[in-house]
Amino acid sequence: LQKSLNETFGADKYSEARKEVLTNMFSRPMQMALYFCTGVLEDETLFRHYALNVPFYTHFTSPIRRYADIIVHRLLSASLGASSPIKMEKEAIQRQADHCNDRKMASKRVQELSADLFFAVFVRVRA
């Protein structure tokens, strides 16, 4: 997608803005990734990553960014035997995942509303 956008919009002074707007529009309808505890799900097909076409997938970034990443790091470390197991029941881990999902969705919604507001202001000023 990014390669197509780069080739389509050339190098004029508005090309970067057009690419950014369209990239944002294309990515909005994509399903958001959700955190979940594998121990509470019986259907292993839910563990797959559709776009990467892999049956088991976990994602995390630096644990200084998000609480969910701290939990994933700790669980991965414990599963590899590099640290002691986390003293949390799987249901408690799932509750944490649900909370992180709720906060992430709320944050995304605020971000979208903010972009809509600034676009409306931009259009109004230019009209």
User: 98 and 65 in one domain?
Assistant: yes
User: 56 and 109 in one domain?
Assistant: yes
User: 106 and 71 in one domain?
Assistant: yes
Whether this model's pTM surpasses 0.85:
no
What pLDDT was estimated at residue 95?
95
The number of folded domains in the chain is 2
What pLDDT was estimated at residue 27?
66
Sorting pLDDT into bands at 50, 70 and 90, what band is 2? Answer: low
What pLDDT was estimated at residue 5?
63
User: 93 and 67 in one domain?
Assistant: yes
User: 45 and 21 in one domain?
Assistant: no
What pLDDT was estimated at residue 63?
76
Percent of the chain with pLDDT over 70: 91
Render pLDDT for 56-101 as a digit per residue (tens, 0 to 9). 888 778 878 788 888 889 988 999 999 999 899 999 999 999 999 9
What pLDDT was estimated at residue 20?
77
What residue numbers bound the domain in which 105 lies? 35-126
Query: Residue written as tokens 């509303």?
Result: 113
- What integer best gives the mean pLDDT of the chain? 83
